Structure 1
Amino acid sequence: MSLPASAAQLCEWTGGHLLRGRPNQSFEGTKIDSREVGSRDLFVAIIGPNHDAHRFLGDVLLGGAAGAMVQSDRIDHSLPRSDGFIVQVEDTTRALADLARGHRGSFDGPLIGITGSNGKTTTKELCADILSGVGSTLSTRGNLNNNFGVPLTLLRREDGDGFAVIEMGMNHRGEIADLAAIAQPSIGVLTNIGSAHIEFLGSRETIAEEKGDLLAALPTEGTAVVGHDDPLALAQSERSDARVLSFGRDPKADLCASSIRFLGEGAYAFELESPFGRGEIRVPGLAETIVENALAAAGGALAAGASFERVASGLASHGGVPGRMQPRSFPNDVLIIDDAYNANPQSMRAALETLARLESGGRRLAVLGQMGELGDAAEAEHLGIGRLIGSLDLHEVFLLGPFADLVAEGAHESGLTKNRIHIEKDHASLARTLKMRLGKGDRVLVKGSRAAHMEGVIELLAEGDR
């Protein structure tokens, strides 16, 4: 928060009580990690399932923090004296949201909220790439898209920011509505509806309703940007009173991509037709899903006031997102495709199909961990991924995790011989086996859910080549 706020404003926004200090004392940044607190920062003592940050209050105050926000049932009156103010609230997690909502009230520029089962982070980065060429743009760092990340992102806004691009994630019902109430988006982007988090929501229809809460929260003068080719996503636009812009490959979409082609140098080109203009778009990326991500980002940016020309140049400048289909060159012309950040059935299929399409002077190898949060569908989905592997032109598969046997079973059923299927017990053994079998010109996809930490395999391979 480069725009300073006072202890009095903090109390007004959160309903808190000034326990120590003066109402006119100010702060500029907001932190929930005590190790990051500086002299102009407010420290919010969050109580989590495993840790209570109130135990760091003494150190933070003695370290010169501008102030602290504490929970009323955790107040320690023996805290050391310092120049920092202290505000007490009933619940520090809820107060963090209230603080962000209050601070949001002084921003009158376009705020784009982005959600969906797949492509949120890439779409957010693409949209920010476009708008940063128009004016200073606040955007979510990484994927800090939950009930802590969204408020902290909003509180980083600087005086000169003219746009905000905020990613919103969830894994339980009601979270998107809560995040939308904090961020108050004027533009909402719904990328698609998949089966990520189905373990907690029960069905894709319920996932659609949860994601659609973003569109339902938009003001009448706002804009809902939604995938036309995804019936579950498109249906959610009916819940919004805002203008609707659809995107997709169907000619009926408001933003329609046609003549899609892979350029060979790790980029896609397509013709974009829209109410805002028509022309060729080029966007870096290995997977064809980058086309839908680019359309979604374009819709959000155009609704925020970007020109068609700026959309084209912004998309062309995209530098990729770590852990999302990122090519990494290794010796002997080996290319590792790092898609290790996360995995669900839809993104796994898209990544494997991309691997199968890549030109290669060697072989195509898949290195896979489990897909998470699938609940009762987990076994069937992993078996299905195995069958897909066997049906594609892949040479070998290396598996890790609790569902490796099911993926192996599916792959063998659909034609992959057992000597081309490798199940390993940990990252180290997988990396050793893979390294022994790598050959000149091989293309290797590495992918799995967050819990699988498949980036560890890539790190071990990289260490061996130093």
Structure 2
Amino acid sequence: MWNLNEIIEQLKPIEILKPKKVNFKNISIDSRAIEKDDIFLAFKGEFKDGHDFINEAFNKGCSLCICEKSINKPYLKVLDSKKALKDLASFNKIKSKTKVIAIVGSVGKTSTKELLKSYFNVSKINFFYTQKNENNWIGVCKTLLRASSSSTFGIVETGTNHKGEIAEIASFLKPDFVIFTEIGTSHIGNFGSIEAIFEEKSSIVNFLEDKKNVIYNLDNPIQKNNFDKNKISYSKIDPNACVYLIDYQKDEYSNKLYLNVFGIKFKVKAPFWLNISNILAAAAFLGSQKLLDENYFQEALNNIILPDYRMQLEKLGHTNFILDCYNASFESIKFAIDELNTKKGKKLAILGDVLELGIHTESLHKKIGEYISAFDIDCLAYGHNAKYIALANKNIQVFENKEELLKTLRSIYEKYDWILIKGSRKLKMEEIFYNLRGLT
């Protein structure tokens, strides 16, 4: 619930036409989502200007508009609507007294978020969270606007593809905890180096009130070299970490994990597609807050569901497909190949371009080719940069045209027991499977 006087105090508008109401349900930046007694906040985006949809918002029942122009309906005029959105998001987080967990990294943010979500659901802890892939500044604002006095935690993914974005988000997010997943080569073309990516992502720590509330990956060299021992560490290999993997047993569909969490040992069974490091990251946060219960954690692992195209299992005839085509990086492709390699029978990987690599495009695609060549896995490469994947192995077939790839795949897929489809979002690699299914 939003109070008019509180909003005016926060925004200090330059013009006011007060509505009859003083309390409002929600604040929305999407006129299509407006409901009765909501507030519509209009700002100019990259493609559309919210001011063009003010009438639509009022027609849908909004009671107040926050905008940068004068109108003849109840409104608060501000100099900068974007700043107003950030200010209200930050105010709502503080007002709700919710503890915010920011998740930062190149890969694994969504998996870690989904596991914490599942755990909080099982353990009946009230929370709000990042929906879909809303991890830029607008998405983080929308997430914070959902905070309420009944929320104990907020789980917030924070993403970046250019310098300064994390600091911009953190300035109004003001996280209470930061979980770092693996930091790797995603968007390296925009930053130039892993070191620059780490500098960008780790800038969020400057906005923590308690600098010890950092959960980091001890297996990630750049994190190990830059974070001190006063912070909370997790590892698959290092028993000096606060949380570490003692041992594990793997089969085609699951991993049995033996964990040490702050000196307490327990075992759980996890789905094969869930990265063990992300499980450890979630356990490290929960353990650090004395919230970790073995039975709840097992139930959370049983219930977790990842969004579409993230290690999604499908079947066509006797052939199993793994659709991991929401996005791609060098590190996530390695993980997917490792998982494919554990499967029984004949295996094929269909690998698409990794984008936003800049001057590293050729070398990282070549490394992908070298990596998969070490396994007994056939490979088809698709996209403009696919030729670089094939530099490492002349047996890797290259396709720049999706129809040509499909033509080949239709004639061979039935001889495989497992097929991985992996590539950047822009390539829409899932179409390969759905086209194949529609023609059989």
After TM superposition, the score normalised by the length of structure 2 is: 0.92
Aligned to 2:349: 366
> Does the CA-based 8 Å contact 1:212-1:233 persist in structure 2?
no
Aligned to 2:397: 421
Aligned to 2:121: 132
Shift of 1:424: 4.0
1:402/1:329 CA distance change after superposition, 3 Å: same
1:274 aligns with 2:250: no
> Does the CA-based 8 Å contact 2:42-2:54 persist in structure 1?
yes
d(CA) in 1 for partners of 2:289, 2:129: 14
Which residue among 136, 157, 161 is the counterpart of 1:167? Answer: 157
Shift of 1:94: 2.1
Q: Which runs of 5+ in 1 are unaligned?
A: none
Which runs of structure 2 are paired with 1:46-445 in the superposition (5 Å)? 46-71=43-68, 75=69, 77=70, 79=71, 81-82=72-73, 85-134=74-123, 135-220=125-210, 223-238=213-228, 244-249=231-236, 250-264=238-252, 266-275=253-262, 277-286=264-273, 290-309=275-294, 310-330=296-316, 332-360=317-345, 363-397=346-380, 399-412=381-394, 416=395, 421-426=397-402, 428-439=403-414, 441-445=416-420
1:96/1:181 CA distance change after superposition, 3 Å: same
Shift of 1:23: 8.2
d(CA) in 1 for partners of 2:318, 2:292: 40
d(CA) in 2 for partners of 1:66, 1:352: 53
d(CA) in 2 for partners of 1:37, 1:183: 24
Q: CA RMSD in A?
A: 2.2
> Does the CA-based 8 Å contact 1:212-1:237 persist in structure 2?
no
d(CA) in 1 for partners of 2:289, 2:121: 12
Shift of 1:440: 5.0
1:453 aligns with 2:438: no
> Does the CA-based 8 Å contact 1:215-1:237 persist in structure 2?
no
1:261 partner letter: Q
> Does the CA-based 8 Å contact 1:215-1:236 persist in structure 2?
no
1:284/1:320 CA distance change after superposition, 3 Å: farther
1:24/1:429 CA distance change after superposition, 3 Å: same
d(CA) in 2 for partners of 1:90, 1:392: 59
> Does the CA-based 8 Å contact 1:247-1:255 persist in structure 2?
yes
1:150/1:188 CA distance change after superposition, 3 Å: same
Shift of 1:221: 7.5
User: Percent identity of the aligned residues?
Assistant: 28
Shift of 1:225: 0.6
Shift of 1:152: 0.4
d(CA) in 2 for partners of 1:311, 1:283: 10
SS in 2 for 1:156: coil
1:9/1:226 CA distance change after superposition, 3 Å: same
SS in 2 for 1:189: strand
1:434/1:349 CA distance change after superposition, 3 Å: same
SS in 2 for 1:212: helix
> Does the CA-based 8 Å contact 2:218-2:241 persist in structure 1?
yes
d(CA) in 2 for partners of 1:422, 1:403: 9
d(CA) in 2 for partners of 1:202, 1:178: 20
1:5/1:236 CA distance change after superposition, 3 Å: farther
d(CA) in 2 for partners of 1:103, 1:68: 18
d(CA) in 1 for partners of 2:414, 2:338: 21
> Does the CA-based 8 Å contact 2:348-2:416 persist in structure 1?
no
d(CA) in 1 for partners of 2:262, 2:371: 39
1:40 aligns with 2:37: yes
d(CA) in 1 for partners of 2:115, 2:27: 27
Runs of 4+ in structure 1 deviating by more than 6 angstroms, as ranges, are: none
SS in 2 for 1:132: helix
Q: Which runs of 5+ in 2 are unaligned?
A: none
> Does the CA-based 8 Å contact 1:285-1:325 persist in structure 2?
no
SS in 1 for 2:227: helix
1:34/1:463 CA distance change after superposition, 3 Å: farther
Number of residue pairs aligned between Structure 1 and Structure 2: 437
